């Protein structure tokens, strides 16, 4: 989920961040930067999806075919319960921040106002 958030998939916290960057870039008429953001997000999504598949898939044992060749594929591995709980919690946090970003945005505004 974190990699999808980095890619800026909607209803994740990463989407809100990228949306705010696009909004600020468009407001300042920095169209080249907005285009670069969209292009690099698209390229990044391709690589993030490859990492996700590689994380959860492992090469299967090579088995001999009937014609003497070998058949290799991907078999998905299991993860431990503690890992699943942490991933579930973080995924839920990313979704909640993507669905309800106002809580975090207000906190950021208060901290920024206190710095200046």
SS3 79: coil
Average pLDDT over residues 89-98: 90
* Residue 100 CA, distance from chain mean position: 17
pLDDT at res. 24: 94
116 to 24, 28, 36, 111: CA distances (angstroms): 20, 22, 30, 9
pLDDT at res. 61: 53
Integer Cα distance of 37 and 8 in angstroms: 10
Residues 6+ apart with CB under 8 A from 21: 37
What percent of the chain has a predicted confidence (pLDDT) above 70? 83
Cβ–Cβ under 8 Å, residues 10 and 98 = yes
pLDDT at res. 52: 83
pLDDT at res. 106: 93
45-91, pLDDT tens digit by residue? 999 989 888 877 766 554 555 555 555 555 556 788 999 999 899 98
Choose among 8, 2, 4: nearest CA to 86: 2
Confidence (pTM):
0.65
Average pLDDT over residues 16-38: 94
Q: Give the pair of three-digit tokens for residue 106.
A: 């207000």
Residues 6+ apart with CB under 8 A from 26: 34
Q: pLDDT band for position 7 (50/70/90)?
A: confident
pLDDT at res. 6: 85
């Amino acid at each position: 989920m974190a990699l999808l958030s980095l890619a800026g998939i909607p209803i994740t916290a990463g989407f809100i961040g990228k949306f705010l960057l696009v909004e600020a870039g468009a407001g300042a008429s920095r169209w080249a930067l907005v285009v670069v953001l969209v292009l690099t997000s698209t390229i990044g999504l391709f690589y993030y999806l490859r990492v996700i598949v590689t994380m959860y898939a492992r090469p299967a044992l090579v088995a001999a075919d009937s014609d003497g060749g070998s058949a290799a594929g991907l078999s998905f591995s299991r993860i431990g319960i503690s890992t699943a709980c942490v991933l579930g919690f973080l995924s839920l946090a990313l979704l909640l921040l993507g669905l309800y970003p106002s809580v975090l945005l207000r906190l950021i505004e208060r901290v920024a106002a206190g710095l200046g």
